[in-house]
Structure 1
Amino acid sequence: MEDITVQELKQRIDAQEKLNIFDVREEHEFDEFNIGATLIPLGELPDRLDEIEQFKDEELIIHCRSGARSGRAKDFLEMQGFTKVRNLLGGMIEWQNQ
């Protein structure tokens, strides 16, 4: 599935769509600034798959600081059978720049 831009995600949040957004940054990064996503740090993702199993066939939007960690999370989740994973391009850096 194609990745998602900051502009598209912001429009969808503003429209109050029900979204499954997961933040794979570390807790201290999340505490500094977040957009209301569920925090599952990348290193914990393999051990916490049961928390997101119900979204296996739903759109998942994954983000981090720049898009690198969330890109790795996307690859991992796709290998686990998740079918609609989207990485937020540019991550929180791009979000704050917009």
Structure 2
Amino acid sequence: MTAPATIDSHDLNQMLDSATPPRVLDVRTPGEFETAHIAGAYNVPLDLLREHRDEIIKHLDEDVVLVCRSGQRAAQAEETLRNAGLPNVHILDGGITAWEAKGFAVNRGAQRWDLERQVRLVAGSIVLSSILGSVAAPKLKWVAGAVGGGLTFAALSNTCAMGMLLSKLPYNRGASCDAQSVVSQLVGTQSPSVRS
């Protein structure tokens, strides 16, 4: 198995200004995408990409750059697309976090917490409340243990069940977060040569 191909922010910025820019697919939740995204990027949440992979790849005939917060979800999306036989897939090294840190512009909308921060809040709250509750009901300590085990498994497997569940909440979903609207965006526009 080969390591996924990465591209750094400077190279992506130059490619976006070229005559044949790549298709930028942002695999974060619609809520995260709305907060900040690279101009001209298409929002294709990771779970939607996995569920409708074959339908989506029919409309990806040029270079594709995958973006998420830091690169973890983009790596999972890259594996999904590579397994489907799509060539020319790259991951933005460091994700939108690195893009912004290097001073490149993003389109901003309503500010929302990113998915990783939401996972930390929920996991931490469950652990804290179960430890405090174990004073009255000692068996609650096992809830904290289960959350710790889940986080350990998430780190080892590079997946996050809690993150996948949280991504389905209305807070993280947008009105146009379905396969049909994503495909119509991909079909309706060619790769944007002028960033908006």
Distance 2:42 2:22 in 1: 11
Distance 1:37 1:51 in 2: 15
Corresponding residue for 1:34?
37
Distance 1:77 1:3 in 2: 14
Distance 1:15 1:85 in 2: 18
Match of 2:52, SS state, is helix
Does residue 94 (structure 1) correspond to residue 98 (structure 2)? The answer is: yes
Corresponding residue for 1:51?
56
Query: TM-score, normalized by length of structure 1?
Result: 0.88
Corresponding residue for 1:79?
83
1:16 CA drift (Å): 5.4
Match of 1:65, SS state, is coil
Length, aligned pairs only: 97
Q: Which amino acid aligns with 1:3?
A: T
Determine which structure has more spread, i.e. the larger CA radius of gyration: 2
Match of 1:61, SS state, is strand
**Unpaired stretches in structure 2, ≥5 consecutive residues:** 103-196
**Unpaired stretches in structure 1, ≥5 consecutive residues:** none
- Is the Cα contact below 8 Å between 2:6 and 2:90 reproduced in 1? yes
Does residue 69 (structure 1) correspond to residue 92 (structure 2)? The answer is: no
Does residue 23 (structure 1) correspond to residue 26 (structure 2)? The answer is: yes
Distance 2:19 2:68 in 1: 21
Query: TM-score, normalized by length of structure 2?
Result: 0.46
Mean alpha-carbon deviation: is it higher for 41-50 or for 9-18?
9-18
1:88 CA drift (Å): 0.5
Q: Relative to structure 1, is the Cα distance of residues 17 and 58 closer, same or farther in structure 2, using a 3 angstrom cutoff?
A: closer
Any idea what the Cα deviations from partners look like across 1:45-85, whole Å, max 9, x if unmatched? 12332133232x53111110000100110011101111111
Match of 1:54, SS state, is coil
Q: Which runs of 4+ in 1 moved over 4 A?
A: none
Q: Which amino acid aligns with 1:61?
A: V
Of structures 1 and 2, the one scoring higher in RCO (CA 8 A, sep 6+) is 1
